[in-house]
Structure 1
Amino acid sequence: MLFSLVAETFLDLEKTSSRLETTAKLAGLFRKVSGSEAKQTIYFLQGIVAPPYHGVDLGVAEKLCEQAIMKASGCKPAEVTQLYRKTGDLGEAARILLEKKSQQTLAKNKLTISKVYDNLYKTATSSGAGSQDRKIGLLSELLSHASPAEVKIITRFVAGTTRLGTGDATIIDALSYVYSAAEKKDASKAIARAYNLSSDLGSIAEKLAENGLKAVEGARPEPFNPVRPALAERLNSAEEIIAKLGPCKADGKYDGMRLQIHSDGKRVEIYSRKQEVVTHMFPDVAREVASWKKKIIFEGEAVGYKDGAFLSFQETIQRRRKHGIKKKSEDVPIRVYAFELLYLGGEDYTLKPYEERRKALEKSVGGKTVRIAEAVDCGTAGDLKKFFDECVSLGLEGVIAKDLEAPYVAGARKFAWIKLKKSYSEALADTVDAVVVGYYYGKGKRTKFGFGGLLAAVKAGQEYRTVAKIGTGFTEEQLDWFRKTLEKQKVKQKPANVDSLVEADEWVKPSLVVEVKADEITRSPVHTCAMKDKEGLALRFPRLVRIRVDKSPAQATTEKEVIQLFEKQRQST
Structure 2
Amino acid sequence: MKGPRSNGEPRDTSSSTVQGPSTSTPNTKPSRPQIVEGTHSGNPPRLEQPSPHEIIDVDAFYDDGPPPERFSGPSLSSKVSVNKVEPSMLVSATVITPIASYPDLGVDPPLFDISAVPLADDKAIPYSFLAHTLFTLSTTRSRNIITNSLTNALRTICAVHEPSLMPSLYLLSNSISPPYLSLELGLGHSIISKAIQNVSGLTPAALKRLYNQKGDPGDVAFEAKANVRTLLPHAPLSIVGVYQSLLKIATAKGEGSVKHKQSIVEKLLVSAKGEEIRFLVRTLAQHIRVGAVRTTILTALARAMALTPPRAVKVRQRPFYASPPLLTRVTNAESTKGKKDVDASRVELEAIYDAAEGLVKQVFVQHPSYDDIVVGLLAKGLDGLAESVPLTLGIPLHPTLGSPMRSLDDVYERLGNLPFAAEFKYDGQRAQVHAWKDATGQIFFKLFSRHLEDMTDKYPDIKVLVQHVFASSPETASFIIDGEIVAVDAKDGSLKSFQELSNRARKAVELHEVTITVCLFAFDLMYLDGKTLLEVPFRQRRQMLRSRFPPIALDRPGAARFDHVESVECSGSDADKEAVEEFWIRAVESRCEGLMIKVLDSGEIVEVSGPRSEKTRRKPLPATYEPDKRTSAWLKLKKDYVTGLGDSFDLVPVGTWHGIGRKTAWWSPVLLALRDPDSGAMVALCKCMSGFSDGFYKQMKEKYAEDSDNCSRQPLWGEIEGGYRPAVYFRPHEVWEVRGADITLSPVSVAAKGMVSDRGLSLRFPRFMKVRDDKSIEQASTPTFLASVYRKQQGKDQSGADDGQLLDPESSDEAEEEEESG
Q: What is the TM-score with the length of structure 1 in the denominator? A: 0.95
Task: Give the letter aligned to residue 291 of structure 1.
Answer: H
Deviation of the 1:53 alpha carbon:
1.0
After superposition, where does 1:345-494 map in structure 2 within 5 Å?
Answer: 345-366=529-550, 367-368=552-553, 369-380=561-572, 381-404=577-600, 405=602, 406-423=623-640, 426-448=643-665, 450-460=666-676, 461=678, 462-487=680-705, 488-494=709-715
1:59 to 170, 186, 198: 186
Q: Could you say which residue in structure 2 is the equivalent of 1:310? A: 495
Report the Cα distance in structure 2 between the residues aligned to 1:222 and 1:128, rounded to whole angstroms: 33
Given that residues 650 and 780 in structure 2 are in contact (C-alpha distance below 8 angstroms), is that contact kept between their aligned partners in structure 1? yes
1:114–1:423 distance in 2 versus 1, CA, 3 Å:
closer
Report the Cα distance in structure 1 between the residues aligned to 2:271 and 2:412, rounded to whole angstroms: 62
The alignment of Structure 1 onto Structure 2 pairs a total of residues equal to 570
Deviation of the 1:426 alpha carbon:
3.8
Pick the structure with more strand per residue.
Answer: 1
Task: Give the letter aligned to residue 156 of structure 1.
Answer: R
Output one character per residue of 1:157-205: Cα deviation in whole Å (capped at 9) or x when no partner.
Answer: 1113312101111111111111124321111111101110122245424
Deviation of the 1:35 alpha carbon:
4.1
Q: Could you say which residue in structure 2 is the equivalent of 1:166? A: 292
Deviation of the 1:155 alpha carbon:
0.6
Q: Could you say which residue in structure 1 is the equivalent of 2:766? A: 542
SS of the residue 1:310 aligns to: coil
Report the Cα distance in structure 2 between the residues aligned to 1:209 and 1:104, rounded to whole angstroms: 42
2:734 to 484, 499, 512: 512
2:410 to 230, 234, 240: 240
Percent identity of paired positions between Structure 1 and Structure 2: 28
The answer to which of 140-149 and 220-229 deviates more is: 220-229
Report the Cα distance in structure 2 between the residues aligned to 1:425 and 1:372, rounded to whole angstroms: 26
Given that residues 427 and 569 in structure 1 are in contact (C-alpha distance below 8 angstroms), is that contact kept between their aligned partners in structure 2? no
Report the Cα distance in structure 1 between the residues aligned to 2:595 and 2:751, rounded to whole angstroms: 29
Structure 1: runs of 5+ lacking an equivalent: none
Report the Cα distance in structure 2 between the residues aligned to 1:149 and 1:210, rounded to whole angstroms: 33
Task: Give the letter aligned to residue 136 of structure 2.
Answer: D
SS of the residue 1:467 aligns to: strand
Task: Give the letter aligned to residue 111 of structure 1.
Answer: L
Deviation of the 1:481 alpha carbon:
1.9
Deviation of the 1:571 alpha carbon:
4.1
Task: Give the letter aligned to residue 287 of structure 1.
Answer: V
Given that residues 90 and 155 in structure 1 are in contact (C-alpha distance below 8 angstroms), is that contact kept between their aligned partners in structure 2? yes
Report the Cα distance in structure 1 between the residues aligned to 2:253 and 2:202, rounded to whole angstroms: 27
Q: Could you say which residue in structure 1 is the equivalent of 2:135? A: 11
Deviation of the 1:206 alpha carbon:
4.3
Q: Could you say which residue in structure 1 is the equivalent of 2:278? A: 152
Report the Cα distance in structure 1 between the residues aligned to 2:710 and 2:639, rounded to whole angstroms: 34
Report the Cα distance in structure 2 between the residues aligned to 1:134 and 1:154, rounded to whole angstroms: 18
The answer to which of 416-425 and 260-269 deviates more is: 416-425
Report the Cα distance in structure 2 between the residues aligned to 1:132 and 1:390, rounded to whole angstroms: 53
Given that residues 401 and 631 in structure 2 are in contact (C-alpha distance below 8 angstroms), is that contact kept between their aligned partners in structure 1? yes
Given that residues 367 and 397 in structure 2 are in contact (C-alpha distance below 8 angstroms), is that contact kept between their aligned partners in structure 1? yes
SS of the residue 1:537 aligns to: strand
After superposition, where does 1:246-257 map in structure 2 within 5 Å?
Answer: 246-257=418-429
Structure 2: runs of 5+ lacking an equivalent: 1-124, 308-321, 323-351, 438-442, 471-476, 554-560, 603-622, 798-822
SS of the residue 1:213 aligns to: coil
1:102–1:378 distance in 2 versus 1, CA, 3 Å:
farther
1:37–1:397 distance in 2 versus 1, CA, 3 Å:
same
Report the Cα distance in structure 1 between the residues aligned to 2:785 and 2:401, rounded to whole angstroms: 13
Deviation of the 1:100 alpha carbon:
3.8
After superposition, where does 1:321-340 map in structure 2 within 5 Å?
Answer: 321-322=506-507, 326=511, 329-330=514-515, 332-340=516-524
1:502 to 724, 743, 760: 724
Output one character per residue of 1:190-236: Cα deviation in whole Å (capped at 9) or x when no partner.
Answer: 11011101222454244324431134224532111111111100121
Task: Give the letter aligned to residue 186 of structure 1.
Answer: A
Deviation of the 1:137 alpha carbon:
0.6
After superposition, where does 1:105-184 map in structure 2 within 5 Å?
Answer: 108-181=234-307, 182=322, 183-184=352-353
Given that residues 522 and 538 in structure 1 are in contact (C-alpha distance below 8 angstroms), is that contact kept between their aligned partners in structure 2? yes
Deviation of the 1:325 alpha carbon:
5.4
Deviation of the 1:79 alpha carbon:
1.9
1:400–1:347 distance in 2 versus 1, CA, 3 Å:
same
Given that residues 457 and 509 in structure 2 are in contact (C-alpha distance below 8 angstroms), is that contact kept between their aligned partners in structure 1? no
SS of the residue 1:445 aligns to: helix
Deviation of the 1:110 alpha carbon:
0.8
Report the Cα distance in structure 1 between the residues aligned to 2:564 and 2:186, rounded to whole angstroms: 38
Deviation of the 1:104 alpha carbon:
6.8
The answer to which of 130-139 and 213-222 deviates more is: 213-222
Q: Could you say which residue in structure 2 is the equivalent of 1:24? A: 148
Report the Cα distance in structure 1 between the residues aligned to 2:219 and 2:640, rounded to whole angstroms: 49
1:480–1:215 distance in 2 versus 1, CA, 3 Å:
farther
The answer to which of 539-548 and 365-374 deviates more is: 365-374
Deviation of the 1:89 alpha carbon:
2.0
Report the Cα distance in structure 1 between the residues aligned to 2:590 and 2:688, rounded to whole angstroms: 30
Task: Give the letter aligned to residue 518 of structure 2.
Answer: I
SS of the residue 1:267 aligns to: strand
1:220–1:384 distance in 2 versus 1, CA, 3 Å:
farther
Given that residues 306 and 356 in structure 2 are in contact (C-alpha distance below 8 angstroms), is that contact kept between their aligned partners in structure 1? yes
Report the Cα distance in structure 2 between the residues aligned to 1:221 and 1:443, rounded to whole angstroms: 54
1:269 correspondence with 2:465? no
The answer to which of 118-127 and 207-216 deviates more is: 207-216
SS of the residue 2:597 aligns to: strand
Deviation of the 1:49 alpha carbon:
1.1
Given that residues 653 and 673 in structure 2 are in contact (C-alpha distance below 8 angstroms), is that contact kept between their aligned partners in structure 1? yes
Instruction: Give RMSD over aligned pairs.
Output: 2.0
Report the Cα distance in structure 1 between the residues aligned to 2:781 and 2:360, rounded to whole angstroms: 25
Q: Could you say which residue in structure 2 is the equivalent of 1:213? A: 382
Report the Cα distance in structure 1 between the residues aligned to 2:126 and 2:221, rounded to whole angstroms: 20
Given that residues 263 and 290 in structure 1 are in contact (C-alpha distance below 8 angstroms), is that contact kept between their aligned partners in structure 2? no
Pick the structure with more helix per residue.
Answer: 1
Task: Give the letter aligned to residue 155 of structure 2.
Answer: R
Report the Cα distance in structure 2 between the residues aligned to 1:178 and 1:319, rounded to whole angstroms: 46
The answer to which of 356-365 and 376-385 deviates more is: 376-385
Given that residues 672 and 688 in structure 2 are in contact (C-alpha distance below 8 angstroms), is that contact kept between their aligned partners in structure 1? yes
Given that residues 27 and 178 in structure 1 are in contact (C-alpha distance below 8 angstroms), is that contact kept between their aligned partners in structure 2? yes
